[in-house]
Amino acid sequence: MKILLVSPGTARDIDGRITREIPYLFANTLFAPHAVAAVAALTPEEHQVEIHDEYSRGPADPILQKNTYDIIGISITSNQLKRSLYLAQFAKKHQPESLVVVGGIGVENLVAKNPENIDVVFHGEAEETWPRFLEDIKTGKYLPVYKNVAKPDMTKTPAPRWELLRDDLPGYTAALVQTTRGCPFDCSFCDVIYTYGRKPRSKTIPQVLEEVKRLSTLKTKMIFIADDNFAGDKKYTKALLKELIPLNNSFRTPIEFLTQIDITIATDEELLTLLADCNFQAVMIGIESVSEASLKDLNKQQNLRVSISEAVKKIQSYGIIVLAHMIIGADSDDQEVFSRTAGFIAEANIVHHLCHPLAAPYGTKMWYDMKRKGRIIFTDMEEISDKLDIVTNIIPKQLSRVELFEGLADYWEDIYLPEKFKQRALAFIRDITYKPKIKDPGLHDLWRLRKMLFRVITFYLFDIGKEHRKAFFTIISKAARKGMYLLPKIIYIYTCYLVDYQRSLHDAKLAREYAQWERENPEKIRIDDTPIPVAEKIREEAASIFNTAWYHIRPRTNNKEHLLNTVISAMVDYNDRVGTSFETYDHFQEELVKNLCERALNQIPETGIACLGTLPSDPPAGFTREILDALDNAVRYRNMNICSDHL
């Protein structure tokens, strides 16, 4: 079969547009499309696979008009729902005989909006479901929905097929490697656990090293370790870094790394040393707030364990840039939150940060809480799901929506002023105390750096405003006096700042437009009054209910996937039947659960590979949480057609 995998993107995407405007980067956009490259790797060799990333190759419309495919796969991201919807519709119009399939984060939202243009939906990880789908097509009995509950074994995950993007890779600032999936934390606004689960799973260290080697041969200069939390398992992370350091130094030009990580690494000097020696330029950390009350609102418990400002300074003393992610709009946030956040950014010498309004992704803990309180909204202005980094779908507690938008606009316009950034950057350089043990550049690298520096200096001398020119040369001079090894880092820092600066102007303009519209049209901000997917009383009694299901089904199967799917099917039926009428889990309710389990056993086929050894007699640790997460997703998908009437 002929398969096209599309990664949606738009020319107006602000980060891509700004990246293309910085000439010395020679880049079209930020990150290479890991999702489609990973799915391509799961496709048997008998099939012909093409990848089209709209960020690097432009709109897919001409390709869909010119060529014919058996399968058109669209990778969904939360910031490209509108474009994804259009592509599904366009593909069906021009290739009605092709199967249009979708998957990725946010897929439920897309399906709700336009189910008639989509033939197959993939929920979650695709290691098992994608090959199964391709086999099912041969028999003509493919399913409309594919979803695994049991999490795939990452040690069996093949490396992404980056060679399909060989010619495009130089046009990305970074390629991606994923070493682990899953996050042990439980932030109320995050929906990662619904896709990857709470328990981190890892590739083997040789797998990761091989992926890095392959990207090096493809001339990749920067790699983003795309884990939800690279230090979720610190023992594994350290073991990997100890192998990655000598590998990186074996390359003619060591690769630069970025990742997402949590603030607790500040207390682990061994890990900080390893990150620095491995050439990690920056780590993205979800700081979210400097208010203890707001962190509690967000259930960001890990950030309460350290002094955040001191932790940031500690990490940056190793020359590692902290890309601080901040959120404004928690229930404890009032008008002072903007000045408090700006004060923290200055105090901690943060040179790269993102600040967004608090939003509640559909089905997260926060969404449930806000939904019950009547604080989830719809507007008649336009779809806002693609813009939740600028506007929000909630009603804040101590700020009005207009106050939040205008406060953020003021914050963005002020915090990124060149003079204020310059002062933070100079303090960042001053406080670096550790010089990473990275291979010194050879003659080839010196020549490459010489050409790069010429392009950079030309740009800052002639192609940029006076304030930026003055700030850049002041910072670069300070860095050169401290150590020439810092020059590439300073170029990286100022480049990130330019992107932040231009984005801030764009976001502030949009925020003010939304604020003005909402001020003039308050009657068009509507409360979402659709039913809550999972009844609250069922949540409270989840352990008893789910354990009953386990004990009833467990003697009938030793296949973990079959057991989990059967339990979830029974629980979806139970929620539909009982719903808000549930009061107490008594003998009657217990018998109902058993009857529904019997029904599910007769309906759910036993597929996949049976568990090696024997499943335990009793529910394992985390079973209740795992089923509740999966039930949230399953019921959410069922209810999407109800919600879509409002979207």
Task: Classify residue 290: in a domain, yes or no.
Answer: no
Q: Which of 109, 127, 154 is the last residue of a domain?
A: 154
92-106 in b/e burial notation, b at 16+ Cβ within 10 A?
beebeebbbbbbbbb
Q: What CATH code is carried by the domain that includes residue 131?
A: 3.40.50.2300
Are 266 and 314 within 8 A, CB to CB? yes
Helix (H), strand (E) at residue 49? strand 48-53
**Helices 487-520 + 443-462 axis angle, to 10:** 40
Segment-wise mean pLDDT, segments of 10 residues, the chain, 647 residues: 93 74 75 95 96 92 94 86 87 94 73 73 89 93 82 92 93 93 78 71 96 95 93 94 97 94 95 97 94 87 86 97 96 95 97 93 75 83 66 93 97 96 97 92 62 81 91 94 89 92 92 94 87 82 95 90 90 81 82 88 69 75 89 66 35
Are 155 and 9 within 8 A, CB to CB? no
Read off the tokens for 152. Answer: 């795939």
Task: Classify residue 16: in a domain, yes or no.
Answer: yes
Task: Classify residue 405: in a domain, yes or no.
Answer: no
Q: Which of 94, 124, 154 is the last residue of a domain?
A: 154
Angle at 438 between CA 435 and CA 444, to 5 degrees: 125
List the one residue out of 617, 607, 409 whose CA is nearest residue 509.
409
| Residue 542 structural domain | 536-644
Task: Classify residue 623: in a domain, yes or no.
Answer: yes
- 3-class SS string, 453-508: HHHHHHHHHHCCCHHHHHHHHHHHHHHHHHCHHHHHHHHHHHHHHHHHHHHHHHHH
Largest Cα span, the chain: 79
Task: Classify residue 97: in a domain, yes or no.
Answer: yes
Task: Classify residue 450: in a domain, yes or no.
Answer: no
Domain count, the chain: 2
List the one residue out of 376, 400, 381, 404 whose CA is nearest residue 391.
404
Task: Classify residue 217: in a domain, yes or no.
Answer: no
Task: Classify residue 359: in a domain, yes or no.
Answer: no
What region does 133 belong to: left with phi over 0, alpha with psi -120 to 50, or beta?
alpha
* Sign of the torsion formed by the C-alpha atoms of 575, 576, 580 and 585: negative
pLDDT value for 646: 31
Are 428 and 482 within 8 A, CB to CB? no
pLDDT value for 640: 42
Angle at 357 between CA 355 and CA 363, to 5 degrees: 125
pLDDT value for 423: 97
Q: What is the reported pTM?
A: 0.84
The beta strand positions in 70-214, using DSSP E, are 71-76, 99-104, 120-123, 145-147, 172-177, 180-181, 201-202
Query: Which amino acid is located at 576 in the chain?
Result: D
pLDDT value for 371: 83
Query: Which amino acid is located at 601 in the chain?
Result: L
Q: Which of 154, 176, 202 is the last residue of a domain?
A: 154
Angle at 547 between CA 541 and CA 552, to 5 degrees: 135
465-486 in b/e burial notation, b at 16+ Cβ within 10 A?
eeebbebbebbbebbeeeeeeb
